[in-house]
Amino acid sequence: MFKKILVANRGEIAVRIIRACKEWGISTVAVHSDVDADSMHVRLADESICIGSHQPQNSYLNIAALMSAVDVTGAEAIHPGYGFLSENAQFAEIVTKHGIKFIGPSPDLIKKMGDKIEARKIAKENGLPVIEGSAGNVNSVDEAKKISENIGYPVLIKAAGGGGGKGMKVAKEPEKLDQLFLMAKLEAKKYFKNDNIYIEKYYNNPRHIEVQIMSGKNRTVHLYERDCSVQRKYQKLIEETPSPVIDEKIRSDLLNKTIKMVEKIGYEGAGTVEYIYENGKFYFLEMNTRVQVEHPITEMTTGIDIVKEQICIANTGNTALTQNDIKPRGHAIECRINAEDPSKNFQPSPGIINVCHQASGFRTRVDGAIFQGCKITPYYDSLICKLICHGRNRKEAIQRMLRALDEFVIEGITTTINLHKKILSHEKFISSDFDVNWLADESFY
């Protein structure tokens, strides 16, 4: 096993990785920006090193600074977490060429699956249903019009290198296509330095379903699916497993096809294959080549530590799991608690947390990096922690989550805790009668 791992991240995911390393008996190195010197991940790690100023490009996105930290500390491996450089093929390649183990798939697979056009092609070649749309990059408005007319409006214009809703535009009628196409290209260039655009059919009322996989050289296994349909502007707010809208026949088909595709491409590590699901049919959306924010709900139902298994696969090349080992129990729900004000269009709410009482109790888990007196800065993602609850069934999981949310007290900043209470108490959530557009149609704020 590795003796020392550098965690190339911050916040709750850095804390999560450090905890997994400690359980393997592995020493950890935390990196931090100047404003994160007193953060929880720095306090928990065995060593820490400042890699730059608060601007992400000067610290957590600074490949040279990270590699210098590896040299100084003698770390044998790097865990990138999620976000920042976790799906950066150039970073993975530099780490690998430096003789350091990158805890994730190969740089080549990161690059291929990170390009949405290439990922669609790979998925289709390996038997996954793909949304009707352009075969590749769409170079002009005229080409976009022809494709859109062929598949029928509404259509979704998407950045090939995109994610998080950036570089995505919905054209509901031909008159808006020109403007939206150009806007999507500009956003794609700005956020991803890649203005390649493709077009696919837009589904009005889909659910967002994803399959968690763990894969080594010896075999690939799935850890079942998650339903991530409670979203705002393509950002997930609440996730649950299992999906309450998929029957066993569809689930079996989805899982089997996912496994076959992942095995054929030679994937190693933890990954998630995402789909949209509507009218009894599912369609490939993308593959995330890293650990997901919402991985804890899968851990709660399967009893498998995904991050520890990631490290094990990186060390040996194989997974110790077999499909027969994985027998999910009950239902789990995760609420992402953000430092945002929902009443002010989700404006970030930085500041000092002067009161912090975290929820606890039976089958209740908090993944976070907050404590009384900690400072929430405006420089990074607003996610400050995740509350996860498990129950024997969905009804019990919802009730346990509502109880836990009532216990959770954070003062000094504004959070999304009360919003989560409203959503989980809503009759549409309770009956699972919603889709990814639900929050845009309902007034919760």
**What is the set of domains in the chain, with CATH numbers?**
4-103 (3.40.50.20), 132-201 (3.30.1490.20), 207-441 (3.30.470.20)
Please tell me the distance from the alpha carbon of residue 264 to that of residue 124, in angstroms, as a whole number. 12
In tens, the pLDDT along 347-396 reads 999 999 999 999 999 999 999 999 999 999 999 999 999 999 999 999 99
Q: Is 251 a catalytic residue?
A: no
In degrees and rounded to multiples of 5, residue 240 shows phi and psi of: -150, 160
* Helix axes of 107-114 and 116-125: crossing angle, nearest 10 degrees: 100
Residue 23 in tokens: 């359980």
CB atoms within 10 A of CB 53: 14
- pTM for the structure as a whole: 0.94
Low-confidence ranges of the chain (pLDDT < 50): none
Please tell me the distance from the alpha carbon of residue 320 to that of residue 309, in angstroms, as a whole number. 8
Please tell me the distance from the alpha carbon of residue 31 to that of residue 45, in angstroms, as a whole number. 9
Residue 397 in tokens: 């999981």
* Three-state secondary-structure class, residue 158: strand
Residue 87 in tokens: 């799906």
User: 12, 291 in Cβ contact below 8 A?
Assistant: no
Q: Residue 166's pLDDT is what?
A: 79
Q: Residue 193's pLDDT is what?
A: 80
Alpha carbon 204 to its chain's center: 23
Please tell me the distance from the alpha carbon of residue 96 to that of residue 209, in angstroms, as a whole number. 32
Please tell me the distance from the alpha carbon of residue 54 to that of residue 64, in angstroms, as a whole number. 16
Pick from 288, 265, 235, 284: nearest CA to 419: 235
Contacts of 190 (CB under 8 A, 6+ apart): none
Please tell me the distance from the alpha carbon of residue 365 to that of residue 368, in angstroms, as a whole number. 10
Alpha carbon 117 to its chain's center: 19
Q: Residue 135's pLDDT is what?
A: 84
Q: Residue 129's pLDDT is what?
A: 95
Which of the residues 10, 290, 394, 400 is marked catalytic? 290
User: 257, 127 in Cβ contact below 8 A?
Assistant: yes
